[in-house]
């Protein structure tokens, strides 16, 4: 398998008997997902989505992306949540593979942030992807208005048709109307895939292809995970092992916080994507594990104290990359004043691995159970595999909690209040 899951540091918190009791329940959930039974059956397009993406469709995306990138010096992608985080996570992790500098907007309402982005782009030839199923989500809708005005100062309406790409609903919604009215290129967001599960659809694939990321490899990795995790057997399915373990820690041991800890800053936005996936899927009906992240060893010098000796309502999942993209050898110093000639000639990653071993052991001994997910290497194939791993895991984890992991009714509460404060009317009909 392309990833491994080590659960040794769960001993004393989860027993084999606990796990055995859970297996029939997970098997039942597996069958329900495969048969698409229950109230959640519609938003399951992601489940077999990778295998249903044809190579010819990927080539179509790559062809369009190549045409767009050819006359562009930068990409601006507008979106929020599932229409933003998966894209940025991939580009941050696979930066060496991307060829077009990428900027982000529409994920906040900060004037200063948008001003800086546009200042950086004012001398560049840019392409813009705007991603929204409805076209009425506040942040991307308002920022798209500003960006269109910014572009109109430099390009004719005909030129804009080559520079603006809308990724939206196939038939309805404000962004679909905008695309058709102005003749912008467009790609369709599948109707049966929710936003936080959409990175392996045109939502993620189109901007990533424009940026120069290997989307063929990304999809092939997800296809491999889909194939391997179609097996309902607990022993053969690390996604189910992860889901079941975190459920037991929450349900049996009252561990209400999960911290995803990595030792590579390039995984930061992967952690942000993971937070949305799990928080929006599980946080409802008064239930759910609170997802948080740490970037180590940096955060050991701030939050490390809390993790070691704070409230024992937390568990930890380490996310590691086995093979770094680069090696840096540590040199020897004649006087050895800092005492670190002990690692003379070693690679810096060797020290990072020892730091992980020390942290995992110390936290475990301090009452923090932990698991470790290991990714072979940071490339498109393994990232696609990891995306699917977490999507499958959160589906099972949410269903174990007895909630629907595919809706997000609570997200609408603040929106309704904000729209009233803004005096926002309903969107105009076509």
Q: Which active-site residues does the annotation give?
A: 280, 301, 415
- The sign one gets for the Cα dihedral 166, 168, 170, 172 is negative
Count of Cβ atoms closer than 10 Å to residue 319 Cβ: 22
In the DSSP assignment, the letter for residue 71 is: T
How far from chain centre, in Å, is Cα 193? 15
* CA distance linking residue 330 with residue 332, whole number of Å: 7
* CA distance linking residue 184 with residue 418, whole number of Å: 30
Closest CA to 269 of 145, 103, 84: 84
In the DSSP assignment, the letter for residue 230 is: T
* CA distance linking residue 114 with residue 349, whole number of Å: 36
Environment class of 235 (CB within 10 Å of its CB; exposed 0-12, middle 13-18, buried 19+): exposed
CB 173 within 8 A of CB 135: yes
* CA distance linking residue 211 with residue 227, whole number of Å: 28
Q: Which residues does residue 260 pair with via DSSP β-bridges, in sequence order?
A: 293, 317
Count of Cβ atoms closer than 10 Å to residue 154 Cβ: 12
* CA distance linking residue 210 with residue 70, whole number of Å: 9
Environment class of 148 (CB within 10 Å of its CB; exposed 0-12, middle 13-18, buried 19+): middle
């Amino acid at each position: 398998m392309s990833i491994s899951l080590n659960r040794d540091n769960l001993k004393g918190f989860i027993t084999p008997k606990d796990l055995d009791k859970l297996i029939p329940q997970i098997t039942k959930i597996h069958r329900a997902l495969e048969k698409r039974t229950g109230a959640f059956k519609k938003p399951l397009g992601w489940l077999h989505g990778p295998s249903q993406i044809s190579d010819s469709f990927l080539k179509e995306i790559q062809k369009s992306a190549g045409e767009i990138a050819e006359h562009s010096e930068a990409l601006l992608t507008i979106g929020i949540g599932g229409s933003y985080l998966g894209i940025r996570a991939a580009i941050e992790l696979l930066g060496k593979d991307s060829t077009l500098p990428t900027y982000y907007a529409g994920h906040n309402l900060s004037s200063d942030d948008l001003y800086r982005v546009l200042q950086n782009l004012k001398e560049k030839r840019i392409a813009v992807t705007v991603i929204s199923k409805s076209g009425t989500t506040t942040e991307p809708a308002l920022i798209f208005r500003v960006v269109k005005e910014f572009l109109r100062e430099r390009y004719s309406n005909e030129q804009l048709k080559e520079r603006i790409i809308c990724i939206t609903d196939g038939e309805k919604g404000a962004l679909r109307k905008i695309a058709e009215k102005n003749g912008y290129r467009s790609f369709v967001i599948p109707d049966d895939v929710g936003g936080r599960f959409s990175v392996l659809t045109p939502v993620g694939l189109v901007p990533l292809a424009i940026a120069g990321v290997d989307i063929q490899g990304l999809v092939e990795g997800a296809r491999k995970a889909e194939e391997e995790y179609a097996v309902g057997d607990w022993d053969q399915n690390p996604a189910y092992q992860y889901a079941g373990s975190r459920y037991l820690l929450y349900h049996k041991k009252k561990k209400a916080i999960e911290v995803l800890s990595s030792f590579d800053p390039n995984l930061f936005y992967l952690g942000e994507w993971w937070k949305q996936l799990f928080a929006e899927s599980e946080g409802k009906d008064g239930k759910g594990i609170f997802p948080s992240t740490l970037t180590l060893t940096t955060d050991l010098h701030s939050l490390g104290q809390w993790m070691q000796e704070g409230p024992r309502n937390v568990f930890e999942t380490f996310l590691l990359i086995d093979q770094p993209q680069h090696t840096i050898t540590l040199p020897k110093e004649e006087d050895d004043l800092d005492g670190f000639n002990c690692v003379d000639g070693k690679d810096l990653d060797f020290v990072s691995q020892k730091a992980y071993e020390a942290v995992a052991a110390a936290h475990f001994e301090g009452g923090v159970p932990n698991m470790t997910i290991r990714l072979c290497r940071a490339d498109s194939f393994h990232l696609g595999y990891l995306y699917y791993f977490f999507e499958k895991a959160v589906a099972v984890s949410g269903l174990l909690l007895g909630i629907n992991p595919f809706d997000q009714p609570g997200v609408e509460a603040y929106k309704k209040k904000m729209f009233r404060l803004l005096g926002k009317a309903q969107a105009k009909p076509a």
